[in-house]
């Protein structure tokens, strides 16, 4: 093949490649109105096509910048990211929304969704209450979820999301307390009585009024007994009798409600 022919084929191949790139990157929404973009994105969400919905919401944010529709797009993009299995991106989107729109009438929803994402992202921490054995799990997401719900309830007590947020706060506190007691029970079963006392005392300090605290006191009492620390054992026993005059019953071993699984 001569050099001129090779050059000709190179030009043809390059032209074909550029044409292909042009056809694949063409934005079919280029001339759409913001309402058309929103309707298309919502259609994708309703069909559970979250991956397709996210970039459409992003285009809508840009084209409708400074309008309530742009704020709506940002919130719905966060929801789509969450449902698409990208909780970190969803949280980042919500944090940006909360920072940019502190007076938005949808701020309560942003806080609620942020709490829900962290709540569901951390179900592994609580799943041992049903079936799993003990392991040290990250509690950060649960605590961040609690803080989002707490801010929602305190700032927007009349919000439509406040009642559910409050329920979830109670659940998180009770679950975290039960988790600490579960760890304390594990240490006790291994003969690590000082560690068991420390973990049970942490539950008493951080999660007042949680149902699992009765067992926390029992673990402390039994651990002091095993260590031969009779004075502290008897002091703890008196606290138990004063706090639970009708008996402690079974607490930490009771299965928790699973209503949150439906979200």
Report the distance separating Cα 78 and Cα 88, nearest Å: 10
Q: Is residue 3 part of a domain?
A: no
Q: Quick check: 240 and 97 in contact, CB under 8 A? A: no
Residues 123 and 202 in one domain: yes
Question: CA-CA distances (angstroms) from residue 148 to 33, 116, 122, 140?
Answer: 35, 9, 14, 12
pTM above 0.95, yes or no: no
CB-count burial class (<10 Å; 0-12, 13-18, 19+) for 83: middle
In order along its 263 residues, the chain shows pLDDT tens digits of 555 555 545 545 555 555 555 445 677 777 899 999 999 999 999 999 999 999 999 999 999 999 999 999 999 999 999 999 999 999 999 999 999 999 999 999 999 999 999 988 655 555 545 444 333 455 788 889 999 999 999 999 999 999 999 999 998 888 888 889 989 999 999 999 999 999 999 999 988 888 889 999 999 999 999 999 999 999 999 999 998 877 655 443 333 333 333 33
Helix, strand, coil % in the chain, rounded to nearest 5: 75, 0, 25
Looking at 89, 104, 119, the residue that finishes a domain is: 104
Residue 187 lies in a domain: yes
Name the CA dihedral angle for 115, 176, 207, 156, rounded to a multiple of 10 degrees: 10
**Are 61 and 70 within 8 A, CB to CB?**
yes
Domains: count for the chain: 2
Last residue of a domain, which of 58, 75, 104? 104
Same domain? 54 vs 145: no
Q: Which domain holds residue 146?
A: 111-244
Q: Are residues 162 and 206 in the same domain?
A: yes
Residue 12: exposed, middle, or buried by beta-carbon count in 10 A (0-12, 13-18, 19+)? exposed
Q: What CATH number is attached to the domain comprising 63?
A: 1.25.40
Token readout for 24 is: 């694949």
Query: Using CA atoms, how far apart are residues 70 and 64, in angstroms rounded to an integer?
Result: 5
């Amino acid at each position: 093949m001569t050099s001129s022919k090779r050059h000709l084929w190179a030009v043809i191949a390059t032209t074909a490649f550029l044409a292909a790139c042009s056809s694949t990157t063409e934005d079919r929404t280029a001339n759409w109105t913001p309402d058309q973009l929103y309707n298309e994105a919502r259609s994708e969400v309703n069909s559970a096509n979250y991956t397709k919905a996210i970039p459409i919401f992003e285009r809508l944010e840009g084209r409708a910048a400074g309008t309530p529709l742009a704020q709506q797009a940002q919130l719905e993009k966060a929801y789509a990211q969450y449902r698409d299995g990208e909780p970190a991106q969803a949280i980042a989107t919500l944090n940006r929304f909360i920072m940019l729109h502190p007076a938005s009438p949808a701020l309560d929803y942003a806080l609620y969704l942020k709490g829900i994402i962290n709540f569901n992202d951390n179900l592994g921490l609580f799943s041992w209450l049903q079936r799993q054995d003990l392991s040290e799990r990250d509690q950060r997401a649960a605590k961040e979820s609690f803080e989002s719900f707490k801010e929602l309830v305190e700032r927007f007590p009349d919000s439509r999301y406040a009642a559910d947020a409050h329920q979830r706060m109670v659940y998180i506190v009770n679950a975290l307390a039960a988790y600490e007691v579960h760890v304390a029970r594990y240490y006790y079963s291994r003969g690590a009585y000082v560690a068991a006392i420390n973990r049970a005392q942490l539950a008493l300090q951080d999660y007042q009024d949680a149902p699992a605290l009765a067992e926390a006191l029992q673990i402390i009492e039994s651990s002091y007994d095993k260590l031969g620390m009779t004075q502290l054992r008897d002091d703890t026993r008196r606290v138990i009798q004063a706090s639970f005059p009708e008996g402690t019953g079974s607490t930490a071993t009771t299965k928790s409600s699973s209503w949150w699984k439906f979200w």
